[in-house]
Structure formats: structure tokens, C-alpha cells
Amino acid sequence: MKAISIHPEPVMEILSGKKIEEYRSWSTHHRGPLLICSTAIKTPGCISGHAVCIVDLVDVKKLDEESYAWIFSEVRCIKPFPIKGQRRLYHVPDDRIVEPEAGEFVIEAGEKVVTEEFWQEYYLSLIQQ
């Protein structure tokens, strides 16, 4: 799967569904699933150095000569795993990506939402104090 590394604070906003656009100085032809990875910068209240979720990259809009808005939809939790980030888009083997299984999520408004137990087991322990 294609992946991108982003600083921890915006990653937490993407994970929570609050941030649906990412601004870059470059465009991409890629559309579809994109693994969101948090850089290793230690940031209080954030997860650092891990792949944390999958989004669908649905569009890239040119804002000006050197600025693009990457438009995300459909945030999906995964079982986070340590990863060494890279610049630009990079490939992460699909077998490293584990989505929640039956019993680890519920369906709310047509979307998979992880249970509180899943959140506590896989995410809370990774948040920097």
C-alpha cells in the first residue's frame, strides 16, 4: 500500500476525522487507499513513529504554483505498528497492515467504528505523555 509520513499532531487530527485535507508542495497521481504514518517526532498527546490509519485519497487540488490540497475521506483504524518514515510516497507491504476484526468494531451510520477496548489496547498506550 502507498504510505505517507506526516507530523504527529496532524496525524491525530486525521485519525479523529477532524482533518480531511493535507497540504503539500507536490502533487500525486495516486488515488485510493493511503496509509497514514506518524513521523518519529516525540509530541505530547500524539502517536509517534507508527502507521496509524488508512484514508482514501480522493482528490488533489492545485491551490497555487507550489501548493496542493490532498483530500481524504473514509478514515479507517488499523492495528498501529512501528515504521520508519520516508519522504514523499513510499510502499509498505500489505501484510504489515492489520485492520480490526469482527468484535473489535461496531457499525455506526454505515461506518466501522472501533470499540473502546480496541482504542485502549492499540492506540492509548502509544500516545506520548
In the prediction, which pLDDT does 108 show?
A: 79
- Helical (H) or strand (E) element with 56: strand 50-64
Split at pLDDT 50, 70, 90, the class of 104 is confident
Range of the domain at 59: 2-126
- Helical (H) or strand (E) element with 69: strand 67-82
CATH of residue 90's domain is 2.30.130.30
* Domains identified in the chain, total number: 1
What is the per-residue pLDDT across 78-97, written as a single tens digit (0 to 9) for each?
999 999 988 899 999 999 99
What is the per-residue pLDDT across 18-69, written as a single tens digit (0 to 9) for each?
999 999 999 999 999 999 999 999 999 999 999 999 999 999 999 998 999 9
Measured distance CA(18)–CA(110) in Å, rounded: 18
Which residues have C-beta within 8 Å of that of residue 78, sequence separation ≥ 6? 35, 51, 52, 53, 54, 97, 98, 99, 100
